[in-house]
């Protein structure tokens, strides 16, 4: 029977065009002969644990398929998608990935009526973090700190290559939520607080991951996460309510998704929370009117983990799960990440047969899903031999990770030229919870969901301590942790070793965590780490502070006692080597903060704040007092800027102006500088920010070398969302700000 169906589809496809070039004809023909059960199966995504040996969250290790469970999922539920490594499980070898996914596809071919390929998805968040030996990069916040979009494109191209090498064609990445709530546990997964910078990184991420053809064996379908407003919960707690006015939603949180759609992103994952009292998974205005009708997104909209059920269980807007399924599907959801059972299928089939969900809505969702599978080439080939990917986990890929870690490192303080340490014979005492841990360098989504299992760490990767021992010699390095994130550890012995050292390197960090387990009560650094830092600074030895944080923890008092502060974010597997090379002077830091670093727990004011926010308690304009400002970062060399030049002072209509400056490296070291152009709209119908980033470029300069940087600006560079929630550019005075220079131009 199946051969006859396939022959019919082939003839239909040939009559109306090649199946590759005319997927609409092929897919329309396929949908016409699918049963409601087969269609609903395509709309359901289950976790590997549902079809693997063992209980869903207690799988056999290494993971393997339970054929009886798989056959049930294929024959009864016609399942269309699988994700993850199994709840509570960890990294899988590339060989086992091919075995698992190959068996799923083989059994699907043998048992299903129509042989529609099953699509596998994974969270390859900062590299292919669920495949053993894969390349791990800095988390997205560190990637943003590089201010290097070309490098971010390379990172995502490698991630795509190694994800596809694992037989997985769909990556639930990148996170496009704007990082404006630093309490949020997923802050490290964002590209920072600024719209312009995040848009630039978004474009690079989508381009690198998808390329020009996602059917290539080296590319994957990207998934923009999490539409929309997920990163701004009022309380800072994951999945808790957000209150965002429509104008602010469009000004700050929508542009990255708009950019991703323009760049061709194929799929989108939906915000698990609620905005202004309505769960996004049930919000037709956001999922259909905005995403589809206004933005023109054509791809697949998938839920996050079990979020349709949460409309009943947690959001309480549906009285039962059947009603929840109806609400989500009619709002615009195409695929349900169920993920631990198959109840969704039964409920949606009932709804269709009762007429509560129309068949045209089902066909619409299924068409999008089948189109994705077709564009990925899965109807022709579901996976390629491991030998197709000789660069998987290669030294070349590791070097790109190392470069990204190096370029992300942000030097925030360097009194008395404490860094670099060029005397390799100095005695150095190393301490702190992040000093000898790969987990603190990688953070969550590393081999396991929370990233805390040390047994899964990549072999032969260096911690900060190990890399320092190589650079300076073990005989010059002493080490004691001094504390964990929670408690002091033999402080007396720690201080005795510190007294004998010439320099102290204090490596602070935060316990890896994301989503609900990663929630914190405030941004304060843990008391144990503060006490250790205070005890060390009392010795009056030069303290070099290294911070491995996924979000800005409050370090004001710690910074005061340190000669140098190196902010490392979560730099990945090559982070230890990069940090040690920076400390020893092999690497010149060039990272710039992609967020405003607060000086106090509740001092959460962004760089693009309003003038009124600068009022201090004494009514002076000194109220904006972050620990470090957005875009800030020092170098081991020094740069000077020539006077800023503009080719004309007025922009009219579609005209453009050129802004240029010459940058010179005045030092003796090669260095990279980020040229940042800001502006202020002096007067506007919506209160203008004191400054907003409008262009940037990262350049490398040899000692005493000069380069000219030119930016071309149009009126669009100064646009904003007006009172009617439409993007506008108003005529008036614009103040350009570059380094410490300002110039007025006029928009007519």
Catalytically active residues are 304
DSSP 276-307: TTEEGGG-HIIIIIIIIIIT---SEEE--TTT
**CA dihedral of residues 301, 305, 307, 309 (deg, nearest 10):** 130
Contacts of 501 (CB under 8 A, 6+ apart): 427, 428, 429, 478, 541
Per the listing, tokens 């790109």 go with: 400
Per the listing, tokens 């470069």 go with: 403
Per the listing, tokens 């996460």 go with: 225
Q: What is the 3-state secondary structure (H, E, C) of 648-710?
A: CCEECCCCEEEEEEEEEECCCCCEEEEEEEEEEECCCCCCCECCEEEEEEEEEECCCCEEEEE
Contacts of 638 (CB under 8 A, 6+ apart): 665, 666, 667
Determine how β-strand 267-270 pairs with β-strand 223-227.
parallel
Q: Within 10 A of 456 (CB to CB), how many other CB atoms are there?
A: 17
* Residues shown for the chain: 748
Tell me how far apart the alpha carbons of residues 639 and 663 are, in angstroms, rounded to a whole number. Answer: 7
In contact, 291 and 268? CB cutoff 8 Å: yes
Contacts of 417 (CB under 8 A, 6+ apart): none
Q: Say if residue 213 is exposed, middle or buried (CB neighbours under 10 Å; 0-12, 13-18, 19+).
A: exposed
For residue 76 the two structure tokens come to 């009864």
Tell me how far apart the alpha carbons of residues 704 and 713 are, in angstroms, rounded to a whole number. Answer: 29
Contacts of 131 (CB under 8 A, 6+ apart): 91, 92, 93, 94, 97, 162, 163, 165, 166
DSSP annotation of 250 reads I
Tell me how far apart the alpha carbons of residues 683 and 431 are, in angstroms, rounded to a whole number. Answer: 51
In contact, 669 and 637? CB cutoff 8 Å: yes
Tell me how far apart the alpha carbons of residues 187 and 515 are, in angstroms, rounded to a whole number. Answer: 10
For residue 600 the two structure tokens come to 């106090």
For residue 21 the two structure tokens come to 């070039």
Question: Hey, is 471 helix, strand or coil?
Answer: helix
- H or E element in which residue 219 lies: none
Q: What is the 3-state secondary structure (H, E, C) of 697-728?
A: EEEEECCCCEEEEEEEEEHHHHCEECCCCCEE
Q: Within 10 A of 712 (CB to CB), how many other CB atoms are there?
A: 12
What angle is formed at CA 83 by the lines to CA 81 and CA 89, rounded to 5 degrees?
150
In contact, 324 and 356? CB cutoff 8 Å: no
What b-and-e string marks burial along 463-502, b requiring 16 or more CB atoms within 10 Å of the CB? bbbbbbbebbeeebbbbbbbbebeebbebeebbebbeebe
């Amino acid at each position: 029977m199946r051969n006859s169906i396939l022959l019919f589809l082939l003839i239909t496809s040939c009559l109306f065009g090649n199946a590759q070039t005319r997927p609409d004809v092929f897919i329309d023909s396929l949908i016409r002969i699918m049963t409601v059960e087969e269609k609903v199966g395509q709309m359901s995504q289950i976790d590997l644990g549902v079809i693997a040996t063992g209980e869903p969250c207690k799988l056999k290790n290494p993971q393997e398929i339970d054929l009886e469970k798989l056959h049930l999922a294929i024959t009864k539920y016609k399942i269309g998608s699988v994700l993850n490594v199994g709840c509570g499980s960890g990294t899988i070898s590339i060989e086992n990935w091919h075995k698992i996914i190959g068996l799923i596809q083989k059994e699907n071919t043998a048992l299903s009526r129509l042989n529609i390929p099953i699509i596998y998805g994974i969270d390859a968040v900062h590299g292919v973090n669920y495949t053993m030996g894969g390349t791990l990069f800095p988390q997205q916040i560190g990637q943003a700190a590089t201010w290097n979009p070309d490098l971010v494109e390379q990172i995502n191209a490698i991630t795509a290559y190694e994800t596809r090498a694992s037989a997985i064609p769909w990556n639930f990445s990148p996170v496009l939520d704007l990082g404006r709530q630093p309490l949020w546990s997923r802050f490290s997964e964002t590209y920072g607080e600024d719209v312009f910078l995040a848009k630039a990184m978004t474009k690079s991420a989508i381009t690198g991951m998808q390329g020009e053809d996602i059917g290539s064996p080296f590319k994957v379908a990207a998934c923009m996460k999490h539409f929309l407003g997920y990163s701004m919960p009022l309380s800072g707690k994951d999945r808790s309510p957000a209150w965002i006015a429509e104008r602010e939603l469009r000004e700050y949180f929508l542009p990255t998704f708009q950019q991703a759609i323009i760049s061709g992103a194929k799929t989108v994952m939906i915000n698990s929370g609620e905005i202004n009292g309505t769960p996004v998974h049930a919000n037709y205005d956001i999922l259909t009117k905005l995403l589809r009708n206004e933005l023109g997104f054509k791809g697949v909209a998938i839920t996050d983990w079990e979020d349709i059920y949460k409309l009943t269980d947690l959001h309480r807007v549906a009285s039962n799960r059947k009603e929840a399924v109806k609400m989500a599907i009619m709002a615009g959801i195409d695929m349900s990440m169920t993920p631990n059972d198959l109840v969704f299928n039964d409920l949606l089939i009932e709804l269709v047969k009762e007429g509560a969900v129309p068949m045209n809505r089902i066909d619409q969702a299924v068409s999008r899903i089948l189109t994705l599978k077709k564009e990925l080439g899965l109807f022709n080939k579901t996976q390629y031999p491991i030998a197709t990917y000789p660069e998987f986990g290669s030294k070349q890929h590791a070097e790109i990770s190392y470069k990204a870690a190096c370029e992300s490192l942000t030097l925030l303080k360097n009194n008395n030229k404490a860094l670099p340490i060029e005397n390799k014979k100095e005695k150095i005492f190393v301490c702190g919870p992040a000093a000898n841990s790969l987990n603190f360098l990688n953070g969550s989504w590393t081999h396991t969901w929370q990233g805390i299992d040390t047994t899964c760490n990549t072999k032969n990767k260096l911690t900060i301590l190990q890399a320092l021992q190589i650079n300076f010699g073990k005989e010059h390095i002493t080490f004691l942790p001094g504390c964990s994130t929670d408690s002091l550890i033999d402080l007396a012995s720690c201080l005795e070793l510190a007294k004998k050292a010439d320099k102290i390197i204090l490596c602070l960090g935060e316990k890896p965590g994301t989503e609900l387990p990663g929630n914190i009560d405030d941004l304060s650094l843990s008391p144990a780490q503060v006490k250790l830092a205070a005890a060390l600074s009392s010795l009056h030895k030069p303290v070099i502070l290294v911070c491995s944080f996924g979000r800005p923890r409050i370090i004001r008092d710690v910074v005061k006692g340190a000669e140098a502060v190196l902010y490392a974010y979560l730099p990945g597997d090559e982070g230890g080597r990069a940090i040690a090379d920076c400390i020893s002077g092999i690497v010149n830091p060039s990272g710039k903060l992609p967020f405003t670093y607060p000086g106090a727990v509740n001092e959460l004011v962004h760089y693009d704040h309003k003038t009124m926010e600068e009022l201090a308690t004494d009514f002076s304009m000194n109220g904006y007092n972050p620990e470090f400002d957005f875009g800030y970062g020092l170098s081991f060399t020094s740069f000077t800027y020539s006077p800023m030049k503009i080719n004309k002072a007025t922009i009219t209509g579609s005209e453009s102006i050129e802004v240029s400056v010459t940058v010179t490296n005045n030092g003796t070291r090669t260095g990279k500088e980020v040229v940042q152009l800001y502006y202020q709209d002096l007067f506007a119908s919506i209160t203008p920010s004191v400054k907003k980033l409008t262009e940037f470029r990262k350049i490398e300069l040899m000692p005493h070398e000069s380069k000219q940087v030119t930016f071309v600006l149009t009126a669009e560079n100064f646009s904003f969302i007006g009172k009617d929630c439409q993007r506008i550019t108003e005529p008036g005075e614009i103040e350009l700000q570059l380094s410490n220079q300002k110039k007025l131009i006029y928009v007519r």
